[in-house]
Amino acid sequence: MKNKIQEKFRTLFGEEGRFFASAGRINLIGEHTDYNGGYVFPGAIDKGIMAEIALNGTDRVKVFSLDYDEFVEFGLREEDKPIQQWARYIFGVCRETIKRGGKVGGFNAVFAGDVPLGAGLSSSAAIESCFAFALNELNGNAINKFELAKIGQSTEHNYCGVNCGIMDQFASVFGKKGCLIRLDCKTLEYKYFPFDPEAAGYRLVLIDSCVKHELASSAYNDRRASCEAAAAAIRARHPEVEFLSDAKRVWLEEVRSEITEEDFLRAEYVIGEVQRVLDVCDALERNDYETAGEMMYQTHFGMSRLYEVSCEELDFLNRIARKMDVSGSRVMGGGFGGCTINLVKKELCQPFIESAVELFTTRFGHAPKIYNVVISDGARELE
């Protein structure tokens, strides 16, 4: 990828720039916890975006996307927003940097990537954090890493119409090889935990169901409302409960008759999920991947039966994993489609993948996609 970028950069601009990269991400556990003030547990992956960039001394940005084989040029004022979606991520990062008092000079860039688009691995965060990091370095701004992540998040909000949380950009900026990062979504405190499944004889395998059911956004709003209703009922007795994640399981029991059964089940999932993140972190500190994997199954059960955001395709993949003694498996992301994330013993990888592809294809009429991922570095400059 680097050679192709370099070749194109030289052809277009007749010079050489500096190389930057960033990554997509996975989330091992901690789903639907972010808006409840709980924990998420993401890491950057070995699939990302790479860019060669050089300031050009003008107030124009000239970018070539190798993957779209398309050249776009734009200015740096609000009214210069490009029409191409991919270019809006870069434009948004420029604008959000400027809004934070950062300097952004015009630049030339060529970039490419290998994060599958829209598979739940956050290819958009990879672009944002790559350019946010690069512009910070090239322009000599001293914007801190958290703010770089927020530049990406605000880009999604203000230039791409996606009202996302901070996790994807956070993971993409802060990601570190061999580590997952537990982020407290309430305080934004974070802590790195060792995660090196390869060394312990495991692999992380994603199976992309390649479906996205339409329910997703209305169901998302319903789930949030349920969580807020449960939190409000608990708060009436325990004023310290700001978010649902602050509540103890027994406190939820106390208000059972005051909320709907549905709200109760949703809250039961969330409170359990917050605890599971902590349990997985403990397990990883002991190098205990089997316990971590078992927690992933519990999360899947909760997402499927209590929170009800799974779907037939994902439950099917989860059952195959269980039947084949895969160590851990669950739906990753908001639900209603996308990938399952699987923690698989090395020797089981090939038979598991073969069976999953065959059985899934027979059942649903299209093949799932397989991605092997390794936890890797996030935003950085390359040598």
Active site residues: 168
Q: Which stretch binds ligand ADP (CB under 6 A): 98-106, 120-128, 276-284, 302-310?
A: 120-128
Figure out which of the listed residues 15, 78, 117, 191 binds ligand ADP, where binding follows CB under 6 A. 117
Contacts of 328 (CB under 8 A, 6+ apart): 289, 292, 293, 294, 295, 296, 297, 342, 343
Asked if 61 and 94 count as a contact pair (C-beta separation under 8 A), the reply is yes
Contacts of 65 (CB under 8 A, 6+ apart): 71, 72, 86, 87, 111, 112
| Least gap, CB of 161 to Mg ion (angstroms) | 11
For the segment 11-70, give every residue that binds ligand ADP (CB under 6 A).
65, 67-68
Give yes or no for residue 127 binding ligand ADP (CB under 6 A): yes
Figure out which of the listed residues 27, 33, 97, 122 binds ligand ADP, where binding follows CB under 6 A. 122
Q: Which does 229 bind (CB under 5 to 8 A by kind): ligand ADP, Mg ion, none?
A: none
Give yes or no for residue 118 binding ligand ADP (CB under 6 A): yes
Element (H, E) at 362: helix 346-364
Q: What does DSSP assign to residue 307?
A: S
Figure out which of the listed residues 22, 27, 124, 327 binds Mg ion, where binding follows CB under 5 A. 124
Structure tokens at 259: 């909320």
Q: Which is nearer to ligand ADP, 65 or 136 (CB)?
A: 65
Give yes or no for residue 155 binding Mg ion (CB under 5 A): no
Contacts of 209 (CB under 8 A, 6+ apart): 311, 313, 314, 317, 337, 338, 339, 340, 360, 364, 368
Give yes or no for residue 152 binding ligand ADP (CB under 6 A): no
Asked if 247 and 231 count as a contact pair (C-beta separation under 8 A), the reply is yes
| Least gap, CB of 70 to ligand ADP (angstroms) | 9
Mind giving me the DSSP string for 161-198? -----SHHHHHHHH-BTTEEEEEETTT--EEEEE--GG
Q: Which is nearer to ligand ADP, 169 or 226 (CB)?
A: 169
| Least gap, CB of 259 to ligand ADP (angstroms) | 33
The count of other CB atoms within 10 Å of the CB of residue 250 is 8
User: Which residues form the interface with ligand ADP (CB under 6 A)?
Assistant: 65, 67-68, 85-86, 112-113, 115, 117-118, 120-124, 127
Binding residues (CB under 5 A) for Mg ion: these are 124
